[in-house]
Amino acid sequence: MTTELLFRNDAYLKEATATVIGVGERGIELDRTVFYPMGGGQAGDTGSLWSASGERIEIIDTRKGERADQVVHVPAAAAAQLKPGDAVRMELDWARRHKLMRLHTALHLMSCVITAPVTGGNIVPDKARLDFDIELSLLNAEHIARETNALIQRAVATATVWITDAELDAQPDLVKTMSVQPPRGAGRVRLLNIPGIDLQPCGGTHVANIAEIGGIRVLRIRSEGKHNKRVEIALTDSG
């Protein structure tokens, strides 16, 4: 049994009801979830599950399982006794998730400012980073912050687009414009479109309009090896 990933169609869903489909050593599985499991560099969600009797189960992390679309909600120690068939209400730590969405979308913009292959990335609630295969001397913190913030000020609405492998094959020019090549073989690929700025395959959670990011500052730039130059950012209104 797989889990319906509600966040894929609505990243702003903060609460929903679900039914427990499995309880294991790693955590709790539900028939549907608003919790994003760690992946694509983005941290897993935290929050609460509420049992029918009103008991709160704190969720301290969310991870992918072994099967596709399998999501494991990791409870704090001394979790309540849930069993398959139990109804629960899910509630995200929305303040934390919204920061992750703003930082994640900011990285899409920054990847358009720095024109070099992306070799890695990570997003946690108070900061985010991308690694680039580029000369360290070509990275200027002031320039990166100014250009990324100029893109944010365009206040463009983002759009999630699903495209089939066949449609991708029929549009080689579209694929050429993408900074990251879409994975093939799953039948269809989820793309994030920031019209006029960025189009790339991504399964993460994003803000509806890039204006929501507000602004970013560059925390630091450093070398993590010959092909990894790391640019770390934070939101201007946090920390």
Between CA 28 and CA 33, with CA 31 as vertex, the angle to 5 degrees is: 75
Pair 206, 228: CB distance under 8 Å: no
Between residues 49 and 168, which has the closer beta carbon with respect to Zn ion? 168
Between residues 82 and 202, which has the closer beta carbon with respect to Zn ion? 202
118 binds Zn ion (CB under 5 A): no
What does the alpha-carbon distance between residue 129 and residue 121 come to, in Å, rounded to a whole number? 5
Taking the complex as a whole, the smallest distance from the CB of residue 203 to Zn ion amounts, in Å, to 7
Q: Which of the stretches 146-154, 174-182, 192-200, 207-215 binds Zn ion when contact is defined by CB under 5 A?
A: 192-200
Taking the complex as a whole, the smallest distance from the CB of residue 202 to Zn ion amounts, in Å, to 3
**Rounded-to-5 percentages of helix, strand, coil across the chain:** 25, 40, 40
Contacts of 85 (CB under 8 A, 6+ apart): 19, 20
Taking the complex as a whole, the smallest distance from the CB of residue 21 to Zn ion amounts, in Å, to 28
Q: Which of the stretches 3-11, 14-22, 170-178, 198-206 binds Zn ion when contact is defined by CB under 5 A?
A: 198-206
Judged by CB under 5 A, the chain residues 124 through 143 that form the site for Zn ion are none
Between residues 180 and 221, which has the closer beta carbon with respect to Zn ion? 180
Between residues 29 and 42, which has the closer beta carbon with respect to Zn ion? 42
Q: Which of 33, 145, 204, 216 binds Zn ion (CB under 5 A)?
A: 204
Give the residue among 15, 50, 20 at the shortest CA–CA distance from 34. Answer: 15
Between residues 125 and 204, which has the closer beta carbon with respect to Zn ion? 204
Q: Which of 202, 210, 218, 233 binds Zn ion (CB under 5 A)?
A: 202
Give the bridge partners for 5, in sequence order: 33
Other beta carbons within 10 Å of 137: 7
Q: CA end-to-end span of the chain, whole Å?
A: 41
Contact residues: Zn ion, CB under 5 A? 192, 202, 204
